[in-house]
Amino acid sequence: MLKHLVLILALCGFTYNSSAEEMSLEDTIAEVNDSVVSIVADNAEKQALGAGFIVSGDGYVVTNAHVVGNSDKITVITTEDEQYSASLVGTDVKTDIALLKVDNPLHFQPVDFADSDLVRTGNSVFAIGNPFGLGNSVSLGIISAKERDIEKGPYDNFIQTDASINQGNSGGPLFNTDGEVVGMNTAIFSIDGNNMGVGFATPSNIVQWVVDELKKSGKIERGWIGIGVQKVRVENAEQKNNLVVTSMSEDSPAAKAGIKAGDILLKAGNMELDNPRVFSLRVSQTEPKTELPITVLRDGEQIELKVTVARIPEEKTVKAEKTEKGEPESSYRHKFGTEIEALDMTVSYDEKNQEVVIDSVGEQSEAAAKGIREGDKFKTLNGHKIFGIEDLSVKIKEASVKGQVILQFVSEDGFDTITLNLKDSR
């Protein structure tokens, strides 16, 4: 079903605070409407329209990264038809967020953010955006679900809403009934590109974290401990959901701290351990060099460990090597890679293009017999996009129950799909 997901962007919501002074919905909308702006992004080939919202009175505006893309010119338009040329402070492709800066704004009224961790399914929300370039438009709905994974990125944690979201709403805010932002409208589920009542918003807590990081240096520095995890239920943890370590990178912070594959995570700082994606997100938002206390269950024994969070390797690249012809390679290859024994090949991850690159294939392997060659690139595994070496290892581990995987890959000859039997690498 996810193949029908059209990333047209837009939506997000917030909670209703019954203790706050009540205002009519009309008054609340009137109060926040001026904080929502239209975004026009131009380049030589096309013009993109979207929405954004003001996050500070000195000219910072946030929107979706896919709205501004590789534009040569970005224009921010207020409800008073004031037009400002905006500069791009930075983007984060993993969360599809971009931060813009306008110089000398006249009447910039910033939004207030709510704690998106507190929103509940059923809360009333409203979205404001720029559908089809019409200008600020309001749609009303509820929060339909939380923690949705739509395979848009490695940290998917979307709020789902039925508030109407259409093309041009991308980057606009999702408000709760108190007029606080609970998310950024980012995507819709659609077969034909039109609204079908299923929209997705990036939670406000993620938006705020990315904005703060981009303000500091114009880029994102994420934390990393080097483990892949899956959900597990254990009897001696009061029937709470916990996570089991299914894979680990060599020389990673977790490995150095003594964590082993098969360990069950009982505690990891103050992080919740009931959702693998949310756990990965929380780790990524932990500042490098932070000492993270972790308690694991191993062979019936609880073990206390301390892991020093490092900077995520995907954001470390090496200089391009020269080819035999003396020309530099067109893309960078990252410093880490691994042997995938179950597939009899060695791979690395190209962060720039978000692709798993085949570095070598066993000459007598099934993969080689079916046409996989050095330099080919994996696109999906069992229909799911791959977001790095650890993610690939986890997906292979999940597939080991059936003993085979369906791989879509691209070579010099184009796209192809094959089925491979997994070797027992235990």
Enumerate the active-site residues: 66, 96, 170
Query: Phi, psi at residue 35, to the nearest 5°?
Result: -85, -5
From start to end of 168-250, where are the E strands? Answer: 173-176, 180-189, 199-203, 223-224, 227-233, 241-248
Unique residue bearing structure tokens 């402070």: 89
Pairing of strands 73-77, 97-102: unpaired
For residues 237 and 266, what is the distance between their CA atoms, to the nearest angstrom? 8
Query: Phi, psi at residue 342, to the nearest 5°?
Result: -65, -20
| Residue 409 token pair | 């890959």
- Return the bridge partners of 411, or none: 414
Long-range contacts of 342-345 (CB under 8 A, 24+ apart): 342/396, 342/400, 342/422, 342/423, 342/424, 342/425, 343/367, 343/396, 343/405, 343/420, 343/422, 343/423, 344/423, 345/372
* Signed CA dihedral, 221, 225, 227, 233: sign only: negative
